């Protein structure tokens, strides 16, 4: 029963970064989820797959895992490559636009 500690990425459906500041300790599945032959649903008897603990810092998550004897691995967050300058909708029609209008 090992766990992974990671910082969740922002949702692709939003531009906000809510719930991306905290760190998450999540247990890795012990076995594959079996598929019910009649209905096609997936099931599991592994109750630890439902546990997801949130911590304010990486150190707090590591300390919790060490204190409770949980083997863990840490996944470092991937940072954004370039900074994005916020622009309004009117920037699409600016007279000093650098790129050609190709719609």
What are 15-38's pLDDT values in tens digits? Answer: 777 778 899 999 998 888 889 889
Coil, helix or strand at residue 93: helix
What's the rounded Cα separation, in Å, for the pair 56 and 77? 15
pLDDT (0 to 100) of residue 22: 92
The DSSP output letter for 43 is: -
Give the pTM. Answer: 0.69
pLDDT of residue 29: 86
Please give the structure tokens belonging to residue 87: 């622009």
Tens-digit pLDDT profile for residues 36-80: 889 989 888 888 888 999 999 999 999 999 999 999 999 998 877
Query: To which CATH superfamily is domain 1-9+20-29+48-78 assigned?
Result: atu1810 like domain (3.30.160.190)
pLDDT at 103: 59
């Amino acid at each position: 029963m090992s766990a992974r500690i990671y910082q969740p990425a922002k949702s692709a459906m939003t531009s906000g970064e809510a719930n991306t500041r905290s760190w998450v300790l999540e247990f890795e599945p012990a076995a594959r989820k079996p598929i019910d032959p009649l209905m096609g649903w997936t099931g599991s008897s592994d109750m630890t797959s439902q546990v997801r603990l949130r911590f304010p810092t990486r150190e707090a998550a590591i300390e919790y895992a060490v204190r409770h004897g949980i083997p863990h691995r840490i996944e470092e967050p991937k940072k954004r490559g370039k900074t994005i300058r916020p622009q309004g909708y009117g920037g699409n029609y600016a007279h000093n636009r650098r790129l050609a209008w190709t719609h």
